[in-house]
């Protein structure tokens, strides 16, 4: 994926979230996917840079802060702290966190602005148009919905007329269209790609990139009564940690994936690429537009009042259970339902039963029949052979599916193997073998193969459920430090040594009683 870079590196981003309210489980969905991909890539030996952050400027924030009688910074400080707490609780492994109010970001945005301005791609003019403050988006008359409101959020737009700076986006329309058409991997899934191609074909106007009616933003260099348009400021966050550092830039830019929700694909696949072209910088390799988390048939969003608080869910069910549900239940690119009953069913069936029982039964039998000590296997029968080949096939498919961002399919593949391993216990009936002295080696083979299967499972699930993966690793007492484990370790069967002592089983997920 990163052949053009000098090292095996991988750079993934989430959108930076508006601190207009508490984050809901829909936001956590995007960040969890990005985290699973980042962890997978680390496991596959890449040097990963995973970025998220907060998008703090704009008229909406300024107005809300004024209403509360505090400064915008006081207002955002508190909310951004709650974002960071949530990501920590959800085990998000981001390498940096950009707050757009930080001086390092201001500097990069102003440098970027100047660079394009010096090239002649930013000019001063008069803006008269329609502005949606909640979405911080400009619209033309033609783009409004049937009620004359914002086509995205369907709230009223405001007529704005002011002196403003413009970015010559029209100049790059053909180039960006060509790029999207010639590079099928650039914008996925294909439905979003078609949407954007149609959008550009209707013509791209120059983009108004400054405002004078409020001041909570980054000043236009040399003309401080203007602040830079919040979306222009926001997308630049993706290069903030790299810009001005030639080595880091070379290592991580272009980004491998900008993962974003479907309603903001336009900003990422059209406006941001035009800006990068104007700045003579390479375009990101992929924009992936995921679907929405739906609740009761509607997009989960604060304005609809149907949000689910991820903090409460984590406290009730654990971060790993929530992560598992989001990754397993929703096919990336499509909308998916969030439903408490479905969550509980998954926890009980997949986590407490399938995975929990496999671990518990295996460690219990090794303890009971062999005093917790594994004995190296000798010989194999057809059932053993098929388990081992299924394990290797699973690891191979998993790598391919994760590389292709088919995350829910990858999760399913692992659970199919967990089911297969549980079936292996029933097929081999170790409790019967244990009663017959002549079956001692066969029993040892079965228990060894089960411990190995679990060792492999713990590696494969580590991008999805890092805490659970570590618990399995610890209960198996794998010698290798957990942090050093690589995907390759799951691609060989037979790593545990003769005489290896395993631990006692401890419950991974309690069953949830349904009232």
Query: Would you tell me which residues interact with ligand ME8 (CB under 6 A)?
Result: 15-18, 26-27, 29-30, 55, 234-235, 237, 260-261, 263-264, 292-293, 299-301
Shortest Å distance, C-beta 350 to ligand ME8:
22
User: From the CB of residue 187, how many other CB atoms can be counted at a distance below 10 Å?
Assistant: 25
* 162's tokens: 């002011």
Q: Which one, 289 or 377, has the nearer CB to ligand ME8?
A: 289
Contact, 57 vs 227, CB < 8 A? yes
Shortest Å distance, C-beta 57 to ligand ME8:
10
* Alpha carbons 415 and 417: distance in angstroms, whole number: 5
Q: What angle do CA 48, 196, 5 make, to 5 degrees?
A: 25
Shortest Å distance, C-beta 339 to ligand ME8:
13
User: Phi, psi (5° rounding) for residue 502?
Assistant: -95, 170
Q: Which one, 264 or 351, has the nearer CB to ligand ME8?
A: 264
Q: Which one, 100 or 475, has the nearer CB to ligand ME8?
A: 100
Q: Which one, 337 or 364, has the nearer CB to ligand ME8?
A: 337
Shortest Å distance, C-beta 338 to ligand ME8:
8
Q: Which one, 15 or 377, has the nearer CB to ligand ME8?
A: 15
Q: Which one, 85 or 436, has the nearer CB to ligand ME8?
A: 85
| DSSP summary character for residue 135 | T
Shortest Å distance, C-beta 270 to ligand ME8:
13
* Alpha carbons 130 and 148: distance in angstroms, whole number: 10
For tokens 């003579």, the residue is: 280
Shortest Å distance, C-beta 291 to ligand ME8:
7
Q: Where are the alpha helices (DSSP H) in 102-172?
A: 103-118
Shortest Å distance, C-beta 8 to ligand ME8:
27
Find the Cα–Cα–Cα–Cα dihedral 260, 266, 270, 275, rounded to 10°. -70
Q: Which residues contact 301 (CB under 8 A, 6 or more apart)?
A: 24, 26, 307
* Alpha carbons 296 and 374: distance in angstroms, whole number: 50
Q: Tell me which residue has its CB nearest to ligand ME8.
A: 261
Q: Which one, 63 or 388, has the nearer CB to ligand ME8?
A: 63
| DSSP summary character for residue 267 | I
Q: Helices (H) and strands (E) in the chain — how many of each? A: 19, 16
* Alpha carbons 507 and 494: distance in angstroms, whole number: 25
Q: Which one, 22 or 495, has the nearer CB to ligand ME8?
A: 22
Q: Which one, 17 or 75, has the nearer CB to ligand ME8?
A: 17
Shortest Å distance, C-beta 303 to ligand ME8:
10
Q: Are strands 9-17 and 257-261 parallel, antiparallel or unpaired?
A: parallel
* Alpha carbons 282 and 416: distance in angstroms, whole number: 41
What is the SS3 assignment for 11?
A: strand
* Half-sphere exposure in the Cβ direction for 230 (13 Å, CA): 27
Cα of 1 vs its chain's centroid, Å: 17
Q: Which one, 149 or 434, has the nearer CB to ligand ME8?
A: 149
Phi-psi region of 372 (alpha: psi -120 to 50; beta: other; left: phi over 0): left
Q: Which one, 134 or 221, has the nearer CB to ligand ME8?
A: 134
Shortest Å distance, C-beta 299 to ligand ME8:
5
* Half-sphere exposure in the Cβ direction for 383 (13 Å, CA): 16
Alpha-carbon distance values, 80 to 59, 66, 84, 292 (Å): 17, 18, 6, 22
Which residues are paired to 125 by β-bridges?
164
* Alpha carbons 2 and 16: distance in angstroms, whole number: 24
Which residues are paired to 389 by β-bridges?
none
Shortest Å distance, C-beta 111 to ligand ME8:
18
Shortest Å distance, C-beta 400 to ligand ME8:
26
* 340's tokens: 């408490």
Q: Which one, 261 or 463, has the nearer CB to ligand ME8?
A: 261
Shortest Å distance, C-beta 230 to ligand ME8:
8
Q: Which one, 234 or 270, has the nearer CB to ligand ME8?
A: 234
Shortest Å distance, C-beta 90 to ligand ME8:
14
Q: Which residues contact 315 (CB under 8 A, 6 or more apart)?
A: none
């Amino acid at each position: 994926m990163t052949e053009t870079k000098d090292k095996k590196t991988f750079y993934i981003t989430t959108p930076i979230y508006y601190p207009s309210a508490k984050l809901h489980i829909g936001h956590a969905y995007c960040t969890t996917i990005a985290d699973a991909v980042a962890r997978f890539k680390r496991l596959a030996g890449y040097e990963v840079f995973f970025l998220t952050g907060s998008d703090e400027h704009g008229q909406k924030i300024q107005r809300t802060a004024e209403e509360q009688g505090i400064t915008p910074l006081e207002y955002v400080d508190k909310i951004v702290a709650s974002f960071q707490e949530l990501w920590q609780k959800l085990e998000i492994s981001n390498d940096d966190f950009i707050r757009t109010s930080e001086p390092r970001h201001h500097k990069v945005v102003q440098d970027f602005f100047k660079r394009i301005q010096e090239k002649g791609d930013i000019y001063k003019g008069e803006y008269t148009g329609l502005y949606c403050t909640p979405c911080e988006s400009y619209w033309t008359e033609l783009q409004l919905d049937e009620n004359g409101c914002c086509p995205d959020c369907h709230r009223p737009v405001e007529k704005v007329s002011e002196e403003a700076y413009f970015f010559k986006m029209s100049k790059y329309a053909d180039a960006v269209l060509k790029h999207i058409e010639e590079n099928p991997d650039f914008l996925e899934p294909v439905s979003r790609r078609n949407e954007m191609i149609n959008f550009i074909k209707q013509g791209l106007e120059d983009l108004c990139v400054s405002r004078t009616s409020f001041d909570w933003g980054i000043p236009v260099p040399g003309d401080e009564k203007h602040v830079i348009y919040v979306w222009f400021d926001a997308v630049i966050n993706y290069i903030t940690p790299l810009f001005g550092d030639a080595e880091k830039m070379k290592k991580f830019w272009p980004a491998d994936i900008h993962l974003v929700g479907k309603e903001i694909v336009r900003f990422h696949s059209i406006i941001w690429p035009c800006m990068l072209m104007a700045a003579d910088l390479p375009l990101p390799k992929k924009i992936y537009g995921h679907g929405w988390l739906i609740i009761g048939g509607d997009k989960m969003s604060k304005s609809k009042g149907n949000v689910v608080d991820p903090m409460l869910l984590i406290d009730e069910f654990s971060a790993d259970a929530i992560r598992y549900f989001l990754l397993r239940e929703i096919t990336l690119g499509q909308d998916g339902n969030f439903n408490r009953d479905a969550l509980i069913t998954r926890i009980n069936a997949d986590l407490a039963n399938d995975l929990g029982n496999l671990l518990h039964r295996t460690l219990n039998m090794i303890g009971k029949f062999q005093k917790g000590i594994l004995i190296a296997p000798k010989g194999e029968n057809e059932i053993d052979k098929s388990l081992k080949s299924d394990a290797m096939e699973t690891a191979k498919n998993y790598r391919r599916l994760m590389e292709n961002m088919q995350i829910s399919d990858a999760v399913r593949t692992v659970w199919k193997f967990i089911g297969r391993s549980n079936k292996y216990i029933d097929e081999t009936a170790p409790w019967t073998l244990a009663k017959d002295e002549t079956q001692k080696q066969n029993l040892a083979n079965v228990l060894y193969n089960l411990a190995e299967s679990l060792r492999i499972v713990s590696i494969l699930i580590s991008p999805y459920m890092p805490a659970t993966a570590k618990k399995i690793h610890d209960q198996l007492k794998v010698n290798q430090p957990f942090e050093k484990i690589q995907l390759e370790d799951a691609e060989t069967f037979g790593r545990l040594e003769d005489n290896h002592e395993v631990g006692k089983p401890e419950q991974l997920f309690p069953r949830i009683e349904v009232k």
